[in-house]
Amino acid sequence: MKTQKEQRQLPALRAHIDRMLSDGWQIISRSPLKLRSGRKTCLVVHGMLIGEGAS
């Protein structure tokens, strides 16, 4: 069986977002990627995770 080469540009960011999702954060938008947990919102812009605070 062939293994595929990792193509993600930012694996550490992806791993962090995966942990956030497992902690209960939800994806509320995909372009740009926006996550929410309660009143907290984060946005991924140019490879950076930016907290928007309470919304």
Q: What's residue 54's pLDDT?
A: 64
Q: Which of the pair, 54 or 20, is modelled with greater confidence?
A: 20
| Residues 23, 9: Cα–Cα separation, whole Å | 23
Residue 45: its pLDDT value, please? 92
**pLDDT at residue 35 in the model:** 97
Q: How far is CA 40 from CA 2, 50, 53, 55, in A?
A: 41, 11, 5, 6
DSSP per-residue string spanning the chain: -PPPPP--S-HHHHHHHHHHHHTT-EEEEETTEEEEETTEEEEEETTEEEEEEE-
Task: Please give the biggest Cα pair distance in the chain.
Answer: 47
Q: What's the pLDDT at 53?
A: 67
What would the pLDDT profile of 2-48 be if each residue is shown by its tens digit?
A: 677 766 678 999 999 999 999 999 999 999 999 999 999 999 999 99
In this prediction, residue 55 carries a pLDDT of 54
